[in-house]
Amino acid sequence: MEVVEGYIRELTEDEALREHIATGLQFGLGLSDATVGFGRREGWYAIIRSFKPRMVVETGVHQGVGACVICSALLRNAEEGHPGLYCGTDIDRAAGFLLNGPYAECAQVLYGDSLESLATLDGPIDVFINDSDHSVAYEAAEYRAIESKLADRSIILGDNSHVTSELLEFAKQRGRPFVFFREDPIDHWYPGAGIGISPSAVPLDSN
């Protein structure tokens, strides 16, 4: 637990990343007073720092805040001798405008329908993050699309698990563990989302 807390602290104290995102939002969206918060992405970061994946796939890049957080973790892993790559998918060709500078060094974005993009990946995928079309059917289709491409040791993260049970059902049917962590915002109108987590097995370390 102490190691995980250290990784989260590492992210929250990363002023270079925070400034990169704030500056990008200012120029990309005109948000001169943007407040950069990471929310559940702190969990993504800690998982990636702990697990040392070689391939991380995220569907639904949007502006690229999550992509930058993931790539920041991958860059730190690489400094420790564990290089990894990020692949994002998005139907919007304007997505991922924050993914530049050092954070683009280990990244690529595939534009088009996510299911079609996932079909082109060879794998193996060590960490898969579902964060695209949040319809029940599309979320389930993404899990089916990447099932044969997952590494023997893999983690699936569901960004919509506070709304649907698709990752839970996928995990149950394949004999994978599942756990859910909920965001707990303080003094904010949004009640919070969470992270559905399904590793291939427990315990699942990085060795």
The pLDDT value given to residue 163: 84
Does residue 71 carry a pLDDT above 80? yes
The pLDDT value given to residue 190: 47
Q: Measured between alpha carbons, how far is 57 from 71 in angstroms, rounded to an integer?
A: 11
Q: Measured between alpha carbons, how far is 124 from 201 in angstroms, rounded to an integer?
A: 16
What is the four-CA torsion angle of 178, 184, 185, 189, rounded to 10 degrees? Answer: 90
| Axis-axis angle for helices 136-146, 166-174 (nearest 10) | 30
The pLDDT value given to residue 34: 60
Whether a cis peptide bond, with omega within 30° of 0, leads into 124 is yes
Which candidate, 115, 195, 114, places its Cα nearest to that of 160? 195
Task: Report CA-CA distances (Å) from 14 to 5, 8, 36, 68.
Answer: 14, 10, 11, 12
Which candidate, 207, 197, 112, places its Cα nearest to that of 160? 197
Q: What average pLDDT does this structure show over 147-162? A: 94
Q: What average pLDDT does this structure show over 161-189? A: 83
Does residue 188 carry a pLDDT above 80? no
Q: What average pLDDT does this structure show over 136-156? A: 97
Q: Determine how β-strand 55-59 pairs with β-strand 85-90.
A: parallel
Does residue 155 carry a pLDDT above 80? yes
Q: What average pLDDT does this structure show over 60-77? A: 97
Does residue 189 carry a pLDDT above 60? no
Q: Determine how β-strand 194-199 pairs with β-strand 150-158.
A: antiparallel
